[in-house]
Amino acid sequence: MTVKIWAVSESPSVANEVASVAAAIAGGAGGGYVVVGLDDSGPLLAGDEKLVVRANTLLSASPEAASDALAVAAKEANPDVILVGSTRDGKEIASRLAVKLGRPCSSEVFGVALGTGALRGKRNVFAGKFIAEVSMTLPCVVALKVGTSPTLPASAALAKERMVGVAAPKTKMVERREKQKGTVDLRGAKLIVSAGRGIKKKEDLTLISDLAAALGGAVGCSRPLSADMGWLPEEHHIGLTGVTVHPDLYLAVGISGQLQHVAGVKDSKVIAAVNTDKSAPMFEASDYGVVGDLYAVLPAMLREIKARRH
């Protein structure tokens, strides 16, 4: 029984991961995998087959149009599994395809494997307190959790093109402001020093940034500091509705450790915390904790780090 897998490259930054997962599960399934790109956005990754779906409108500008076009192509090719990255737009594409094609759909899935006539996987539930098994009968659509899988090299092999006619999307994108490159992308950071409400004033964030700089790491924060107080831009917000990180070291400073924050850091190799409150949940989620005042502990840490260098 061969199983045909599509890896949709809706977002260049996650396309690689999606294709890697497709390659991994196709390995045992015999049906091969197809890397599917939208428009003509550059070299696609290695795949058994490559397909570029294009339309009379810019698909990368509209998840709706992309879904329409992919649905047309999918009805012809009939892939058993359609994989897409679980980004914000990716989830939209996945759910639209699920409705258009009449297939089951799940999002934020990792650890996928093919069973007989079904695709199994796992996803975090209850803000990461539990892991659930997910099972979808084939054919299905799956949005894969990003940041969890290794990557494949790009390939110069040519892609088949499928030009599709789609209706004009109902929404119109009139502007896109890319977030400035060079500002932090915590998703790849190996070391993060993160600030929470224990920081009393915006000016005091220098304690965090100084320590991060001394350690060659990035600065993160819990939701209140970005969303509520606007002390740091949204890219620094780590948590269920922010960024998920997996550094080697995550140092949580003055962060109480609400479930929704911990959900974003669970995969860190080592977690450490500094907090005055001994009963802060962050300590439960940490390997090492210092119960103390960050205003004294952080400068002391900085001195210790500098001393070790000499």
Could you give the 3-state DSSP secondary structure of residue 6? strand
Using CB under 8 A as the binding rule, whether residue 151 contacts another protein is answered as: no
- For the bound state, the minimum distance from the C-beta of residue 76 to another protein, rounded and expressed in Å, comes to 20
Is 46 or 191 the residue whose CB approaches another protein more closely?
A: 191
Among 28, 150, 176, 203, binds another protein (CB under 8 A): 176
Q: Is the dihedral of CA 237, 239, 245, 248 positive or negative?
A: positive
- Residues of span 106-145 touching another protein by CB under 8 A: 106-108, 123-136, 143
Is 27 or 206 the residue whose CB approaches another protein more closely?
A: 206
- For the bound state, the minimum distance from the C-beta of residue 125 to another protein, rounded and expressed in Å, comes to 6
| CA distance linking residue 261 with residue 282, whole number of Å | 9
Rounded to 5 degrees, φ, ψ at 26 are: -70, -30
Could you give the 3-state DSSP secondary structure of residue 135? strand
Using CB under 8 A as the binding rule, whether residue 246 contacts another protein is answered as: no
Q: List Cβ neighbours of 75 (8 Å cut-off, separation of 6 or more).
A: 101
Using CB under 8 A as the binding rule, whether residue 248 contacts another protein is answered as: yes
- Residues of span 178-237 touching another protein by CB under 8 A: 178-179, 191, 197, 215-216, 223, 226-228, 234
Sole window of 17-25, 43-51, 150-158, 266-274 interacting with another protein (rule: CB under 8 A): 266-274
Is 2 or 88 the residue whose CB approaches another protein more closely?
A: 88
Give the CA diameter of the chain.
Answer: 67
- Residues of span 35-64 touching another protein by CB under 8 A: 63-64
| CA distance linking residue 196 with residue 138, whole number of Å | 44
Using CB under 8 A as the binding rule, whether residue 88 contacts another protein is answered as: yes
Is 50 or 91 the residue whose CB approaches another protein more closely?
A: 91
Using CB under 8 A as the binding rule, whether residue 292 contacts another protein is answered as: yes
Using CB under 8 A as the binding rule, whether residue 241 contacts another protein is answered as: yes
How many residues line the site for another protein (CB under 8 A)? Answer: 89
Rounded to 5 degrees, φ, ψ at 28 are: -90, -10
- For the bound state, the minimum distance from the C-beta of residue 186 to another protein, rounded and expressed in Å, comes to 11
Count how many Cα atoms sit within 13 Å of the Cα of residue 72 in the half-sphere of its side chain.
15
- For the bound state, the minimum distance from the C-beta of residue 224 to another protein, rounded and expressed in Å, comes to 10
Q: How far is CA 275 from CA 25, 197, 261, 295, 310, in A?
A: 44, 10, 15, 10, 29
Among 116, 153, 170, 203, binds another protein (CB under 8 A): 170
Is 155 or 260 the residue whose CB approaches another protein more closely?
A: 260
Sole window of 22-30, 49-57, 149-157, 294-302 interacting with another protein (rule: CB under 8 A): 294-302
Using CB under 8 A as the binding rule, whether residue 153 contacts another protein is answered as: no
Q: Angle between the 63-77 and 88-101 helix axes, to the nearest 10 degrees?
A: 40
Give the residue from 191, 97, 101, 83 showing the smallest Cα distance to 145. 83
| CA distance linking residue 297 with residue 275, whole number of Å | 10
Buried b (16+ CB within 10 A) or exposed e, 143-178: bbbbbebeebeeeeeebeebebebeebeeeeeeeee
**How many residues can be counted in the chain?**
310
Is 37 or 289 the residue whose CB approaches another protein more closely?
A: 289
Among 87, 149, 194, 222, binds another protein (CB under 8 A): 87
Question: What is the DSSP code (8-state) at residue 73?
Answer: H
Using CB under 8 A as the binding rule, whether residue 287 contacts another protein is answered as: yes
- For the bound state, the minimum distance from the C-beta of residue 281 to another protein, rounded and expressed in Å, comes to 9
